[in-house]
Structure 1
């Protein structure tokens, strides 16, 4: 499988977690933090194509159809991310880890196979760092007021997704599970602390 090169040095950071975890809020806070640090930052969320996002979140397709739509969107997005990584840090709200958790564990598809499909679509592009914001399903219910099609799935589905996220560190060297049940500030402080630790260790190497 042909793979394109990407700059390392923790330049592609993804935020993951089940719905209601606060990952989008934390991703945006992290973007602002990096900008204050004088970094050039590009923020993106998945699905990237807005028309496809609306279809995927509000229409009922079979599992394989959804998977291939996500892969098509991700393949297009990869071209943009490879380009942005030449000059900027890329912060992403979701990544292929969402497919491993939702379609793999949630919909009970083969996780290893999904990983290979994503690597083919992405030409080997993977986040350098993943912050997985973890919350129990019970907290998810308290936080989400209105629900799209995916968010309306049952508790067993979301428990499988959450359990999946907790075990996905094998696909990323720097995969950090952060307790999202705490206050927004406490979660953010932990993320920044982890980030500074990574940057510090890099400077010493």
Structure 2
């Protein structure tokens, strides 16, 4: 089973992955970008802010990471939970430029050798919650610096991508109690 945890920064994906990994101990936990050795290098390039990349170059680097994740992780493990994946890839690219969603879907399917997630847990948050959580962290990566309106647009594009791909998706209200969210996710994964 291949499960994606999707959502913009500050919605609680990492917290919930930590909680769920205690329940599903046989799951291989990974993240995009950065789940492989190559991906760690790409993560620094993409999020470190040292490089000003063109929009197409940024998409292609995320796709390269996704292809490595497919080869090194998804093809070798029967139960994978990933902090982000193709839904983020499509959504951020849509908000970044004038790209065709069908072209982005094609490129992501190519990178994943046609494999789509079995389930998606999509976290949704209000503007106020996002601002509160991001400001509480201190410091922003190069994508978070694009602003909250940009992130809200990405959030909407994530939902659009899930619907377009007709993926089995659980939409989570990120403002709910942590334990309540964990229970919802556990039930969704087990069903």
Answer yes or no: same fold by TM over 0.5.
Answer: yes
Question: Counterpart in 2 of 1:151?
Answer: 144
SS of 2:75's equivalent? helix
Provide the rounded CA distance (Å) in 2 between the counterparts of 1:139 and 1:14. Answer: 22
Stretch moving more, 179-188 or 11-20: 179-188
SS of 2:64's equivalent? helix
Question: Counterpart in 1 of 2:159?
Answer: 166
SS of 1:125's equivalent? coil
Asked whether the equivalents of residues 14 and 95 of structure 1 are also in contact (C-alpha less than 8 Å), the reply is: yes
Provide the rounded CA distance (Å) in 2 between the counterparts of 1:67 and 1:116. Answer: 13
How large is the RMSD of aligned CA atoms in angstroms? Answer: 1.5
Provide the rounded CA distance (Å) in 2 between the counterparts of 1:84 and 1:28. Answer: 21
Question: Counterpart in 2 of 1:120?
Answer: 110
- Cα offset, 1:108, TM superposition: 4.3
1:61 to 29, 37, 53: 53
2:87 to 97, 111, 119: 97
- Cα offset, 1:154, TM superposition: 2.2
Asked whether the equivalents of residues 106 and 160 of structure 1 are also in contact (C-alpha less than 8 Å), the reply is: no
Query: 1:106-117, aligned counterparts within 5 Å?
Result: 106-117=96-107
Asked whether the equivalents of residues 130 and 172 of structure 1 are also in contact (C-alpha less than 8 Å), the reply is: no
Provide the rounded CA distance (Å) in 2 between the counterparts of 1:81 and 1:192. Answer: 22
Are the structure 2 counterparts of residues 107 and 141 from structure 1 closer, same or farther at C-alpha, using a change threshold of 3 Å? farther
Provide the rounded CA distance (Å) in 2 between the counterparts of 1:107 and 1:17. Answer: 19
TM-score, scaled relative to structure 1: 0.82
Query: 1:28-47, aligned counterparts within 5 Å?
Result: 28-35=18-25, 40-47=26-33
Structure 1: unaligned runs, 5 residues or longer: 1-10, 199-205
Asked whether the equivalents of residues 74 and 80 of structure 2 are also in contact (C-alpha less than 8 Å), the reply is: no
2:72 to 71, 80, 87: 80
TM-score, scaled relative to structure 2: 0.88
Higher alpha-carbon Rg: 1
Are the structure 2 counterparts of residues 24 and 63 from structure 1 closer, same or farther at C-alpha, using a change threshold of 3 Å? same
Question: Counterpart in 2 of 1:192?
Answer: 186
